[in-house]
A = this chain, B = another copy of it.
Amino acid sequence: MNLRARTLEAKQQKRQKILEAAKELFFNKGYYGTAIEMITEKAGVSTGTFYLYYTNKIEIYKALQNEGLDILVDKITKVISWPGMSSLAKLSEIARAYFEYYNEHREYFDIISILSAIPDELKETQTEISRVIDNKAYNLLKVIEGVVKEGIENGEFISMDTWKVTNTFWGLMDGLILLDERNNTRNVIGIGLEDLIKQALEMAFYGIVKQRPG
């Protein structure tokens, strides 16, 4: 490993350290509750150094969003790559994986979702990264749609608009987790999120109506 490489690596490490500090702070204090100085102090670098690695406050926030999304996409892609699973099982696994992600990486979750304070700047300036993020999310949905299509083809699911169902399915998951974020479901509603998701799958798969019309 030559000097250049070592230096490059060291740079990456510093960048990561700053990101790590920012993640924790954004998660705990929110975007507006986090000052650059808090990040640099936690990361053990100077204020100026921050701007050497990130152009501004918004940028690091977006970087975090990006990273968090990568982890999620990875997780879900992996889960449905196992052979021998029915489409139904795959959808179930996707829900489980999302739930797991929410549990294990809530910091990222909060930063990805609009739950936390949305910097206005983020909405207004549709920058490079914003588009990257939107793209990744879109692709993820397309992967899920693949599962739905497969289920219809192999006769597991009824015939339906796969794109609509996919989005609905995803919205359902998001909505439940959102519920949890808002209330901490177990305390307020009295049901744990895990149970709620299982119920949702039950409902999504088999419906709640006894007799179909006609």
Contact = CB atoms under 8 A, between A and B. Distances in A.
A143 interface: no
A207 B201 CA distance: 9
A39 B212 CA distance: 53
B158 A208 contact: yes
A32 interface: yes
A183 interface: yes
Closest 3 CB pairs of A and B: A175-B175, A207-B207, A117-B117
A6 interface: no
Interface string A9-31: 00000000000000000000111
A188 interface: yes
Contacts of A157: 208-210
Interface residue tally of chain A, by bracket? 35 or more
Interface of A: 29-33, 88, 114-120, 134, 137-138, 141, 151, 155-158, 160-161, 163-165, 167-176, 178-179, 181-183, 185, 188-191, 195-196, 199-200, 202-210, 212
How many copies the complex holds: the figure is 4
8 contacts: A30-B117, A88-B209, A163-B190, A165-B203, A169-B203, A171-B179, A172-B176, A175-B178
B155 A167 contact: no
B175 A189 contact: no
B209 A196 contact: no
Interface centre among A137, A160, A167, A200 (most CB of B within 10 A): A167
B203 A207 contact: yes
